[in-house]
A and B are shown apart, each in its own frame.
Chain A
Amino acid sequence: MAVAANQLDAVFGALSDPTRRAILARLRRGEATVAELAAPFRVSQPAISRHLKVLEHAGLISRTRRATARLSHLRAEPLREATVWLAGYRAFWEESFERLDELLVSLQEQGEEQDEERGRTHPRGRRRPKGRRAP
């Protein structure tokens, strides 16, 4: 878990920078050298190399050598994993709220049973059949 979490942290950090996002977008079209990646930007090749190190550390790219050139390749898996982890946000709350619906029904039934035991009419006037109800 700790490894996965650190990875997620690194992926978020890597994606927080617009230059690095643009580099990833360029690498979707295929591998590229540092010079090719630096061309669209008003930054030096060493600056691009630093960005590539961040992306490599996050596992978003891999780098290989061809003759004297270092080529960068997009690696999709870490980003996909981060997306899957984040998809949990909505799923987490939807399932939680469904459970909360059930709990609230059961709490209200308990409340009504207590009211009936005390011989009071339920304030909302909804008399439900006594005895055990199907879950």
Chain B
Amino acid sequence: MTEMQITAAPGVPQVLTSRTFDAPRELVYRAFTEPDLIVQWLGPRRYTMTIDRFDLRDGGTWRYVHADDAGNEFGFHGVFHGEASPDGIVQTFEFEGAPRHVSMDTVTFEQADGTTTVRTNSVFQSVEARDAMVDAGMASGMNEGYERLEDLLTKLVANA
């Protein structure tokens, strides 16, 4: 187990992450592809996850909903592309609250010495959308003040 790494090259609308798990590849792959396992880990603990569809075939669709105690629901959906395997799962990803902001995600599973490194590759529709997301991802917490806005604006304007 290692800390998650996030990489975002300048000028490319892409985010790469990697994270190593102390488990064999077959098991990690199962945790990513079996709905009864996925609902046990994907998303923050405060949400209850329901999987509506998970058709892991070329062209198959997936949809899940995260619900909180207050009755708020957040839906996500997308489409699988190609045959999924531990060598790679390729799918689109869209938050239903922000339709048409779609990313294309690839997840791979690499085994070494009984551990498995999961790498994700997300491609966004623009550098701006990617940068906004990554800048925010570097924030230390959820309660940052207006200094964050200043930083964000400075970066956005520097890239203009």
Interface positions of A (Cβ within 8 A of B): 1-2, 4-5, 8-9, 12, 15-16, 18-19, 21-22, 24-25, 28, 76, 79-80, 82-97, 99-105, 107-108, 111, 124
Ordered by A's residue number, 24 sampled pairs between the chains whose C-beta atoms are within 8 Å are A5-B98, A9-B98, A12-B129, A12-B132, A16-B128, A21-B157, A21-B159, A28-B153, A80-B149, A84-B142, A86-B132, A86-B137, A87-B137, A90-B137, A90-B139, A91-B44, A92-B43, A97-B19, A103-B40, A103-B41, A105-B22, A107-B30, A108-B23, A108-B27
Give chain B nearest CB distance to A31 CB in angstroms: 16
In the complex the two chains form, what is the Cα distance from A103 to B39 in whole Å?
A: 11
Give chain A nearest CB distance to B76 CB in angstroms: 11
- The interface residues of chain B lying within 8 Å CB-to-CB of A103 are 31, 37, 40-41
Whether A87 and B139, one on each chain, are in contact in the complex, defined by CB atoms closer than 8 angstroms, is yes
- The interface residues of chain A lying within 8 Å CB-to-CB of B30 are 107
Interface positions of B (Cβ within 8 A of A): 1, 4, 6, 17, 19, 21-23, 27-28, 30-31, 37, 40-45, 72-74, 95-101, 114, 126, 128-129, 132-139, 141-142, 144-146, 148-150, 152-154, 156-157, 159-160
How many A-B pairs have beta carbons closer than 8 Å: the answer is 144
Top 4 closest pairs, chain A to chain B, by CB: A5-B97, A86-B136, A90-B137, A99-B41
In the complex the two chains form, what is the Cα distance from A1 to B144 in whole Å?
A: 22
Residue of A nearest to B118 (CB): A97
Given A5-B97, A24-B153, are A89 and B43 neighbors across the interface (CB < 8 Å)? no
Select one of A18, A76, A99 contacting B160, CB under 8 A. Answer: A18
Select one of A4, A16, A83 contacting B136, CB under 8 A. Answer: A83
Residue of B nearest to A106 (CB): B40
- The interface residues of chain A lying within 8 Å CB-to-CB of B145 are 80
